[in-house]
Chains A and B, each alone.
Chain A
Amino acid sequence: GQQVMQIPQYQHVQEGEDFTTYCNSSTTLSNIQWYKQRPGGHPVFLIQLVKSGEVKKQKRLTFQFGEAKKNSSLHITATQTTDVGTYFCAGPGGSNYKLTFGKGTLLTVNP
């Protein structure tokens, strides 16, 4: 079945440093979604990318969808303590009805 891999599993940074997490799918995706889960919280939808090579920005967050629509990345510029949490990517499975989530990247930020 479809697999969605994320790296790294963990990332610890100093406040102000940049952070990037990568997502790779075993199959071509029609779209990819990103979610953030704060410690003790629930996943919160961040963004959806649909087009090949698409780049979207949300303040300090930059999301990119690969040309082959099999990979994606999330880059955070100048991290802040409020960025702490686990970032998940998720892509639709073969039937397109269900989302397959990556295992996430846990970001911790040292103030």
Chain B
Amino acid sequence: DSGVTQTPKHLITATGQRVTLRCSPRSGDLSVYWYQQSLDQGLQFLIQYYNGEERAKGNILERFSAQQFPDLHSELNLSSLELGDSALYFCASSVGDRDQPQHFGDGTRLSIL
């Protein structure tokens, strides 16, 4: 058990819809990272928050947004969903904001029908 909690585990929705994925980091970790994993693209970094502030951005689409709340949990919002957004979305956390081992949650599997 990594200590990182992601909900829901599975999400099935239709194109054009909006979903919210939730992540609670390990106790004591201030950084939260979001990744998208698909078969052909591997593990793609989306965005990082550290203690409530955005720290780094990867190839995150404009239709996607995230935030980290004062209690350090984070949410990833995906809107105007397309078939290609079907993937496994991982949240990870670390103590600091750089050069730290990351601890991953079990992921949310998103299926767009």
* B residues in contact with A101, CB < 8 Å: 35, 42-45
Interface: A63 (CB within 8 A)? no
Give the interface size class of chain A: 20 to 34
Interface: A66 (CB within 8 A)? no
* B residues in contact with A98, CB < 8 Å: 33, 45, 48, 56, 58
Known: A97-B48, A97-B97. A42 touches B56 (CB 8 A): no
* B residues in contact with A95, CB < 8 Å: 56
Complex Cα distance A95/B48, Å? 12
Complex Cα distance A102/B44, Å? 9
Which of B2, B45, B90, B103 is A99 in contact with, Cβ under 8 Å?
B45
Would you call B104 and A96 a contact (CB within 8 A)? no
The stretch among A43-51, A53-61, A70-78 that forms the contact with chain B is: A43-51
Which of B33, B97, B98, B106 is A42 in contact with, Cβ under 8 Å?
B106
Interface: A62 (CB within 8 A)? no
Interface: B55 (CB within 8 A)? yes
Complex Cα distance A88/B43, Å? 9
Interface: A85 (CB within 8 A)? no
Would you call B104 and A44 a contact (CB within 8 A)? yes
A75 to chain B, nearest CB (A): 21
Residue on A nearest B40 in the bound complex, by CB: A103
Which of B43, B90, B98, B105 is A92 in contact with, Cβ under 8 Å?
B98
Interface: A108 (CB within 8 A)? no
Would you call A43 and B99 a contact (CB within 8 A)? no
Would you call B55 and A97 a contact (CB within 8 A)? yes
Residue on A nearest B58 in the bound complex, by CB: A98
Complex Cα distance A86/B35, Å? 16
- Interface residues in chain B, defined as those with a beta carbon under 8 Å from any beta carbon in chain A: 2, 33, 35, 42-45, 48, 55-56, 58, 90, 92, 97-99, 101-107
Q: List 6 A-B contacts (CB under 8 A).
A: A33-B101, A42-B105, A43-B104, A96-B98, A101-B35, A102-B42
